[in-house]
Amino acid sequence: MNRTFVPIEGPKLRLVEAAEKLFAERGFDVVSVRDITQAAGGNVAAVNYHFGSRDGLVEVVMTRYISPVNEERLMRLEAAERKWAGNAVPVEEVVDAFVRPLITQVGKSELSEKLYARLVGRIFGTQCHGMPAEIEAQLVVSIGRFVKVLSKSLPTLAEEDLLWRLHFVIGAMIYMLTHGDALQRLSQGLAGTPSMETTLARFLNFAVAGLRDGVGSPQAAQTVTGDRVSQAHATPSDAREIPTSDGHRPPPQAAAAPALSPVEAVPDDPTSDGHRPPLQVPKKRSKKAEQDSPQVLFEF
């Protein structure tokens, strides 16, 4: 696979910097070549000359911002694995390794913190379409490595369930980056204007809680996959409702009947006048009732 060349100076870099600012502010779909060349102080033909097409310029912008994030993610994850020397890495540290590069890389951009976050959010949001093959291949490797480490940190979660939870975390991350100012508007300022570091700390708490949800709880640890339910932590009452592998349900377990006594126990407390109430003798059971009632024998 050919690596995308990212310019470091000259007219190509000016076009890239003009494009990334416009993409951050407006989105990839609405910015035209003319918008970019006007912002860069060049002519319309400059984009085709330097990048082959508008898509070529978009690919350079995406690679310039996402490749360093993916590389730092893996470096941080490997450092965490070395730190824990083969043991399970805490979920907090795994998620931090996945998200923190978004902050550390912002200082290497010419964009403001707000525009940087919005641009990276827009880039990650194009994963279903328009993502350069080079970046998509990096993400495949990155997701695979993080799922492997998280599987060790959360061993009771099925891999399929873990993948979906990580998918939800990534979705929340994209929205946090792309629409960070929406909460300020909708809350009429009550959400404040936190720094990216503060927002990251809040997001980490949210993401870790989502990944851990139900882990360690017998009821919530049951993982539903299709129409099958894991019985690893099922209670006896749950187990009776779970079909067997051939599709049949096992017969219900009969509840143990209480031992019958010829005379029912009566409270030994005397009445207010000092007399004890007479013993209550139960009515004789009919033969038919005795045949219908289950009898339980206890051995000691």
Average pLDDT over residues 106-134: 81
pLDDT at 225: 36
Mean pLDDT of 9-16: 84
Strands 224-225 and 228-229: antiparallel
Mean pLDDT of 13-22: 93
Whole-angstrom distance, CA of residue 233 vs CA of residue 223? 10
Lowest mean pLDDT among 18-27, 89-98, 181-190, 263-272: 263-272
CA distance 12 to 50: 6
Task: Report the pLDDT averaged over residues 18-23.
Answer: 94
pLDDT of res. 67: 92
H or E element, residue 258: none
Cα–Cα distance between 220 and 242 in angstroms, integer?
A: 15
Q: Which helix (H) or strand (E) holds 90?
A: none
CA-CA distance, 31 to 253, in Å (whole number)?
67
Helix (H, G, I), strand (E, B) or coil at 261: coil
Q: What pLDDT score was predicted for residue 176?
A: 86
The pLDDT, as a whole number, for residue 244 is: 45
Average pLDDT over residues 63-82: 94
- Mean pLDDT of the chain, nearest integer: 76
**Rounded to whole angstroms, what are the CA distances from 152 to 144, 148, 168, 181, 205?**
13, 7, 19, 36, 20
Average pLDDT value for residue range 141-146: 94
Residue boundaries of the structural domains of the chain = 61-214
In this structure, of 66-70, 158-162, 206-210, 289-293, the range with the lowest mean pLDDT score is 289-293
Element holding 187 (H helix, E strand): none
> How deeply is 73 buried, as exposed, middle or buried, from its count of CB atoms within 10 A (0-12, 13-18, 19+)?
buried
Q: Mean pLDDT, to the nearest integer, of 262-284?
A: 49
For the chain, counts of helices (H) and of strands (E): 13, 2
Query: What does the pLDDT look like over 165-213, one tens digit per residue?
Result: 999 999 999 888 888 778 888 888 898 888 888 888 999 999 999 999 9
**Cα distance between residue 79 and residue 85, in whole Å:** 10
Position of tokens 């009632």?
293
Among candidate residues 24, 29, 199, 27, the one with its CA nearest the CA of residue 112: 24
Q: Right CATH number for 61-214 from 3.40.109.40, 3.10.105.10, 1.10.357.10, 3.30.1330.10?
A: 1.10.357.10
Q: What is the pLDDT of residue 275?
A: 54
Write the pLDDT tens digit of every residue in 206-258.
999 999 998 864 333 343 333 333 333 333 333 334 444 444 445 444 444 44
Residues written for the chain: 300
Question: From CA 206, how far away is CA 290, in angstroms rounded?
Answer: 59
Cβ proximity of 54 and 47 under 8 Å: yes
Q: What is the pLDDT of residue 7?
A: 60
Predicted local distance difference test score (pLDDT) of residue 182: 82
